[in-house]
Amino acid sequence: MRPAAPTPYARGGVGHSSRVVGYELRQRLGRGGMSVVDLARDPAGRPVALKRVVLHGSAFGLAQARQRVHREAEALARLDHPAIVPLLDVIDDGDEIVLVMPYLAGGTLADHVRTRGPLSPGQVEHLADTLLAGLAAAHREGIVHRDIKPANVLFDREGRAHLADFGVASIRDATSGLTATGSPIGTPEFMAPEQARGEPATPASDVFSLGATLLYAATGQPPYGRCDPRVALQRAAQGRLAPLPRELDGSLRRRLAPMLHRNPRRRPTAAAAAGGPTGTIVAARGPSRRSAALLPAIGAGTLAAVACLGAIAAGVWYLRSHRVAFAGPDATASPAASTPLTAPCTPKPYQPCGAPAAPNTDGSRCLGEHADYDADPTNGCEAAPDTIDGQPLTSSLSANLVPGADVDRYPVPVQDRFQLLCDGTFQVTLAGPAGAAARLELYDGSELLGAKVSRDGSPVTVSVPEPSCLADDSTELTAQVSWDGDARSAAPYRLTRTGSF
């Protein structure tokens, strides 16, 4: 496609001067439901992407939106991370906002999967490490993306991945909280359940959407299955996720399953999912320019006094820590005072000072997918995982849900036997552990056939009638068992199948 002739790009509108900025439009890169993206050149001749977003609302609402956009632009400008596409400028242009970002020529993750197929497990692991690190940095700045999807993962010429469009969802949401079509902000196929229900997006929502994006990178499938966006939105609101494909790499399965948990409180933070510290809290700001400017005004005498006080305090600490008695001019240290004290012991959650680590722990956390369900640190992580997950359900089986985010899936072969009245029925029954609630879901591919919750051991049954009288209805379904609620138990559940088509 031949690029369009260069067009000068004028800057003006509310909150800006009327000077002309030398952005020259080169060609149209793409168009979405709420925006268009153009390739342009900045005054230095560098390629940039100009994303034009339409705002909706009253004149008063638009004015408020612009104020909010520019406040958020200041926060976005602080995002300095190699895995995040930076926001270079924000331009008012009538009823539209134009975002200026660097142009990345490597295409999107959506393009890559569509044209070349899913990534290898190693490539997805590397992609996860890169993007989770960038997302954790954004969350520490108090910024939530709200619309992570494969189209917002961009690659540069060297193949490095970057998260793009931070703040775009917030800008579209600036007036009424809805797009022009009245749907929740985000993309249904990759949206967290709480977002689909209209609840405010949180960092946990971003973690879900990134997990959904990584699942797409690995399999080419979104978490709610391939369907109409309206159906995907309904499934998202109900938390009806399709089972993770059986062929998904085991390491990726263990990494993505917690990120895709229906309950946002059960998802790891971005930093934890990346293997870093769990506390992706909003970072505290350093001293302001005003306070920093006051530092040179402190006189040398004041600094000397502070240093003197510091030396006195250090001396007192040393004498006390080495047990030296203040007994007057002839004071002497006790025999023990001549030997420095050893560093004080800090007890760990599963390892008191002077004691070995509790079973199945390293002193600080559970190991080997064990879990601590009884909250008793003396017996460590007493809940042990089973090895039943993934085995065919041919009659009945017993298994447990360990660790806490465990989701068990079983292939269920179903035969079509002759039924004179075409009234064949297939059933799966779940009796969950006492003291907790377990959820049974039965799938045909990505289609949810039914779901029931077993509470405190009471059995529940999901029944499926024979689909057809004339055709052979033999198939393989998937039974999925997961927790429903926060209570946990290491006791086994029992899964039983009966009937046929």
Which residues have a catalytic role annotated?
147
CA distance 401 to 247: 21
Element (H, E) at 316: helix 300-321
In the structure encoding, which two tokens stand for residue 235, read together?
């499934």
Angle in degrees, 0-180, between the axes of helices 203-219 and 109-116, rounded to the nearest 10: 20
C-alpha span between 185 and 177 (Å, rounded): 7
Question: Strand 396-399 to strand 408-414: parallel, antiparallel, or no bridges (unpaired)?
Answer: unpaired
Q: What's CA 451's distance to the chain center, in Å?
A: 26
Closest CA to 479 of 404, 416, 401, 391: 391
| Residue that is written with structure tokens 């993306």 in the block | 145
Which H helix or E strand runs over 302?
A: helix 300-321
Question: Quick one: residue 375, left, alpha or beta (phi over 0 = left, psi -120 to 50 = alpha)?
Answer: left
Long-range contacts of the stretch 230-239 (C-beta < 8 A, 24+): 230/188, 232/188, 232/189, 232/191, 233/183, 233/184, 233/188, 233/191, 233/196, 235/448, 236/188, 236/191, 236/192, 236/193, 236/195, 236/196, 237/193, 237/196, 237/197, 238/193, 239/193
Structure tokens at 171: 């800008």
CA pair distance 450, 469, nearest whole angstrom: 21
What is the distance between the alpha carbons of residues 371 and 389, in angstroms, rounded to a whole number?
17
What is the residue type of 445?
Answer: G
Helix (H, G, I), strand (E, B) or coil at 496: strand
Contacts 24+ apart (CB under 8 A), 321-327: none
Question: End-to-end CA distance of the chain, in Å?
Answer: 56
